[in-house]
Amino acid sequence: MDIFESFNYDNLKFPNCFVDIRLQKRTNNIANVENGELDEVSSNEQAGVGVRALVNGAWGFSSTNNTEDVQRCIDSAYRIAVATSKSSNRENFEINPPIEKGQFENKVKIGPEDISLEEKISYAYEIEKGAKINALVKNTVSACSDSITEQLYVNSIGSEIYQKTTRVYLKSVVASGNDSLQMGYEVMGGTRGYEVLKEKSLEELGREACEKSIRLLSAKKVSGGEKTVVLDPKILGVFIHEALGHACEADIVLQGDSILEGKLGEKIGADGVNIYDDPTFLEKNGSYFSDDEGIKSEKTCLLEDGVLKSYLHNLETASRFKTAPTGNGRAQGFSSRPLVRMSNVYMGSGDHSFEELINIKDGLYVKGGRGGQVDTAKGLFTFGCEEVYEIKKGELGQLYRDVSLSGNTLEILKNIEGIGKDFEMGNPGSCGKGQYVPVDDGGPHIRTRALVGGE
């Protein structure tokens, strides 16, 4: 019998405290080709239950992959919460979440179950075909993966939420060169089905990654220093997620590790800078209907016209800040406890054309990011850049490679002097914070100033 059909809420005995239960089943498929050889093929299903209990401001958590052992998990979580409450010096807090009920599913046209594993392997090889169009290509990784996650959330106050989420993820990573290698990376997917292939062919995905790595081989090194930069939606999304988004997570604020602590209501960005976290944005990688604490997803405005309007909250941080939860309590799986996590973060569009943004005497146009380091407490960041082009008198010129972008988060936001009228969000990936959850980011093109690292 299906684990959700066999689950009987009425037979459970709840202690005299708040308890919530996540019953989850997840199916994963992956086909991975590396350097022309099939490296990994897997198809697996995981199911289990995670239970939390809250006693005098202390959480107890218990999980099991035996989905018929829910009562034992409830009892175990309660005992852990009681023991923790007696030994913890943490300040007590109370939660009063709304009662939510519903069934949700992101409808897809071509689901993972409609495509055989053999076809998914052929998809990875098709990406690989596009990735190896040049003799200078040295290493390639081509992957096709998908997942279907079903979850039933119930709690002791009467919430009951079922949601089913389908995700598809396709990527190409290419390294080209002789003495030094240059990387090309392309990805597409989200909370969608394989109908995503109608927008871009698999061979084209691999070819774009290959061509990027080849272009960078002939690129020069840039001279470092503070410069005017035009950022494309991809690296802007990386900046918003890493530098601003994590600093907006209320648990990080409570730990004293955020540059944004105590700044609610303050002007921290330029006029016209509007930034959001939005799990309701359809078909993106960080989209969901309800978080893992039974809170309905909602669009949260982090910055409005440059003013810091909100942090991101789960039930506990919302209680400690005496505000409402924002629906950002997320867990990697049934065996993980929900933490404050982002979903889809982005900057809203402005009114500048791309031509207006690059209409400067000199500067740099930065396309794509490669991750980096962030100090949320000091508000400092360093990111690697994919492609960087010289701007001279409003025209794009020389391509540069091995460039880094760094600066102070608040200064970058305040120095924004132009926001594009375009918009792009399609940078699906995972965010790590002790656990991995799917996220997305993006926005328009913008112009600001930053410290550029090169020669």
Q: Specify whether 226 is located in the same domain as 350.
A: yes
How far CA 412 is from CA of 103, 155, 181, 392, 418, in Å, comes to 42, 43, 31, 22, 12
Helix 202-217 with 117-131: angle, nearest 10 deg: 30
Q: Domain end: 194, 217, 240, which one?
A: 217
Note the pLDDT of residue 141: 98
Q: Specify whether 35 is located in the same domain as 117.
A: yes
Q: Specify whether 197 is located in the same domain as 330.
A: no
Note the pLDDT of residue 89: 81
Q: Specify whether 59 is located in the same domain as 160.
A: yes
The whole-angstrom distance between residue 245's C-alpha and the CA centroid of its chain comes to: 10
Q: Give me the CATH number covering residue 212.
A: 3.30.2290.10
24 Cβ partners below 8 Å, 6+ apart?
47, 48, 49, 50, 149, 150, 151, 152, 333, 334
Q: Specify whether 231 is located in the same domain as 164.
A: no
Note the pLDDT of residue 135: 95
Q: Specify whether 189 is located in the same domain as 227.
A: no
Q: Specify whether 174 is located in the same domain as 270.
A: no
Note the pLDDT of residue 91: 87
Q: Specify whether 116 is located in the same domain as 167.
A: yes
pTM: 0.96
Note the pLDDT of residue 90: 81
Q: Specify whether 149 is located in the same domain as 256.
A: no
Query: Is-contact 145 115, C-beta < 8 A?
Result: no
Q: How many CA atoms lie within 13 A of 418 on its CB side?
A: 20
Domain extent at residue 292: 220-453
Tell me the C-alpha distance between 66 and 213, whole Å.
47
Query: Is-contact 384 371, C-beta < 8 A?
Result: yes
Q: Specify whether 147 is located in the same domain as 239.
A: no
Q: Specify whether 149 is located in the same domain as 251.
A: no
Question: What pLDDT tens digit does each residue of the chain (455 aa) get?
Answer: 488 888 998 899 999 999 999 999 999 999 999 999 999 999 999 999 999 999 999 999 999 999 999 999 999 999 999 999 998 788 899 999 999 999 999 999 999 999 999 999 999 999 999 999 999 999 999 999 999 999 999 999 999 999 999 999 999 999 999 888 999 999 999 999 999 999 999 999 999 999 999 999 999 999 999 999 999 999 999 999 999 999 999 999 999 999 999 999 999 999 999 999 999 999 999 999 999 999 999 999 999 999 999 999 999 999 999 999 999 999 999 999 999 999 999 999 999 999 999 999 999 999 999 878 999 999 999 999 999 999 999 999 999 999 999 999 999 999 999 999 999 997 899 999 999 999 999 999 999 999 999 76
Q: Domain end: 201, 217, 233, which one?
A: 217
Classify burial at 390, counting beta carbons within 10 Å of its beta carbon; exposed 0-12, middle 13-18, buried 19 or more. middle
406 Cβ partners below 8 Å, 6+ apart?
380, 381, 382, 383, 450, 451, 453
Q: Domain end: 196, 217, 238, which one?
A: 217
Helix (H) or strand (E) holding 208: helix 202-217
Q: Specify whether 246 is located in the same domain as 365.
A: yes
Domain count, the chain: 2
Q: What is the DSSP string of 252-289?
A: HHHTT--TTTT-TTSB-S-TT--EEE-TTSTTSTT--S
Note the pLDDT of residue 6: 86
